[in-house]
Structure 1
Amino acid sequence: MLRYAIIGLVLSVWTTFGQICTDANIKTVARIVFGEARGEPMRGQLAVAYTIVNRKNHQAYPNTINDVVYQKRTNGREYQYDTLHMTAHTQAWNDAQRRNTQEYKNAIKASGDALCNRQRDPTRCATDYCAFDPCRSTRSNKWWRATNKLKIGNHYFVCRVAASG
């Protein structure tokens, strides 16, 4: 019986991470990690990468990596990840990628570690983060309760659970 439970667990982990552990997804997530957490310790970059994985697996967010990354704010004009609508960030990413800088390599590593489940999620469940606290991303609202607040590097991370009542 234990053998079947272990096999089920392995298949579940592979289903969650095996399908998202692709070069294209790693590069997509690395673009966010680079723009949002460049210069942070590797644990902080890993945490930012895991917020994307956690969003993909959370009922309030889209269920693919690309849809999570490119989701727009309610105004329909800006991406949820600020780095995507900042020209200077895009230029820095393109330059770092072309020159294969250490910052680029770190973003790729953190993204691969999260998407391929090579390292554990240091946030345990975070879908949201902010460079200061409190902010809209780290506060509860009428739909979701922010829990497990944790500071890693210069970011505050929170998990989201449905608000009751």
Structure 2
Amino acid sequence: MKKIISVAIIAVALISGTGKSAFAAESYKVESEDTLWNIGKTYGVSVKDMKELNNKSNHLIFPGESLKLPEPVSENEKEVLARLVHAEAKGEPYEGKVAVATVVLNRVNNETFPESINEVIYETSPGGVYQFSPVGNGEINKPADKEAVKAVEEAIAFRGDGNNSLYFYNPEKTNDQWIRTRNVTTVIGNHVFAQ
């Protein structure tokens, strides 16, 4: 799924459409206060992927150590995902916002769904209905708040861990019986998460 970039440089790339710059790092030299978790959140990469790429069986890293980094999530995709989280999980606990973002990332990693964040978010059913209601009703076009942005960063670093939820729904707001047949993984706030 993820392409591994082998050149060990740090490049600054301007992401089209966002007006923001992002660091596309292929390797990183560990500093004294670093953790894999903070490196993952800073560079938009999964801790699990970093561990696999660097043949690590635990979270131990050492100052001066050079870590290979997987390809990061683009600033554009982070922004779209944060807007979706903001629209889908307004009023929900922070943990639920992280879980909503994680559902999208789990779909990207699952062969049944499209291979990019944007494709997953904008996917439609055979009947032309969007998978996520904020896409259909336009709520996704509203800016994300800081908590949604932070939740996306955490979900990206957490990517590949957790209960592999592929769906979520609010039982008070849906009459869809199919979604209720899915295996429930957890309930957070008003959302039920399922596989």
Q: If the TM-score is normalised by the length of the shorter chain, which range does it land in?
A: 0.5 to 0.7
Distance 1:20 1:137 in 2: 34
- The equivalent residue for 2:125 is 73
TM-score if structure 1 supplies the norm length? 0.68
- The equivalent residue for 1:131 is 170
Q: AA paired with 1:26?
A: K
Distance 2:159 2:111 in 1: 24
Change (3 A) 1:7 1:40: closer
Which structure: larger Rg? 2
Q: Residues 54-133 of structure 1: matches in 2 within 5 Å? A: 54-76=106-128, 78-87=129-138, 89-90=139-140, 93-94=142-143, 104-117=145-158, 121=162, 124-132=163-171
Give structure 1 stretches of 5+ with no counterpart.
Answer: 1-5, 98-103, 141-145, 160-165
The percent of aligned pairs where both chains have the same amino acid is 27
Distance 1:48 1:7 in 2: 20
Alignment check: 8 A CA contact 1:52 1:65 kept? yes
Q: AA paired with 1:27?
A: E
Change (3 A) 1:18 1:30: farther
Paired residue for 1:29, among 70, 74, 81? 81
Alignment check: 8 A CA contact 2:184 2:194 kept? yes
Q: How many residues align?
A: 133
Q: CA deviation at 1:9?
A: 4.4
Distance 1:135 1:147 in 2: 15
Q: Which has the higher helix share?
A: 1
Q: CA deviation at 1:137?
A: 5.7
Distance 1:8 1:107 in 2: 24
SS of the equivalent of 2:96 reads: helix
TM-score if structure 2 supplies the norm length? 0.58
Distance 1:45 1:82 in 2: 16
